[in-house]
């Protein structure tokens, strides 16, 4: 299975950004951990941007790609971006939205996930395992 993993704003700062909430691992370390846990069960292609328009363009590129599924952590855009939601709705492949922290243990504005309306599965609060469990769920779906 070939899976695209899209990461949104500020996830490039993982490891140094609020480690008490997001953990001490960098995005590169989470990527290596996830692939190590999966072994050769799935091929993951990782991508990150702080730009909403770039994320939309990347989601739209999936329409004509050979990806079997998408894992997306839209980060703060999950609470605000109707544009990313609209782009996700065009995909005909399974989508898993992940969040490292438990969004319901945080500020109330984080409780609403606009982008999750296009998702098959939502993972929240599992830390670095969010991506691994998301891939496992896709493999079993």
CATH number of domain containing 89 = 3.40.50.9100
Domain that residue 24 falls in: 2-140
Choose the catalytic residue: 33, 77, 79, 99: 99
Query: What is d(CA 65, CA 69) in angstroms, rounded to the nearest whole number?
Result: 10
Of 18, 112, 124, 5, nearest to 55 (Cα)? 5
Domain count for the chain: 1
99 among known catalytic residues: yes
Catalytic site includes residue 22: yes
Residue 59, pLDDT > 60, answer yes
CA distance 131 to 141: 15
pLDDT of residue 105: 67
- Catalytic one of 22, 77, 131, 132: 22
CA distances (Å), origin 15, targets 11, 12, 26, 38: 9, 9, 4, 22
- Does residue 73 surpass a pLDDT of 60? yes
pLDDT tens digit sequence for 84-137: 999 999 999 999 999 998 776 666 656 568 999 999 999 999 999 999 999 999
């Amino acid at each position: 299975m070939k899976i695209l993993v899209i990461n949104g704003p500020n996830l490039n700062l993982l490891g140094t950004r609020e480690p008490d909430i997001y953990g001490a691992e960098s995005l590169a370390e989470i990527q290596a951990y996830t692939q190590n846990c999966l072994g050769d069960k799935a091929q993951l292609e990782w991508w990150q941007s702080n730009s909403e328009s770039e994320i939309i363009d990347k989601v739209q590129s999936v329409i004509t790609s050979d990806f079997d599924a998408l894992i997306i952590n839209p980060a703060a855009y999950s609470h605000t971006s109707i544009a990313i939601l609209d782009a996700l709705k065009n995909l005909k492949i399974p989508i898993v939205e992940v969040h490292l922290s438990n969004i319901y243990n945080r500020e109330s504005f984080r409780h609403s996930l606009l982008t999750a309306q296009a998702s098959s599965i939502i993972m929240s609060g599992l830390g670095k395992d969010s991506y691994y469990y998301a891939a496992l769920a896709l493999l079993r779906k």
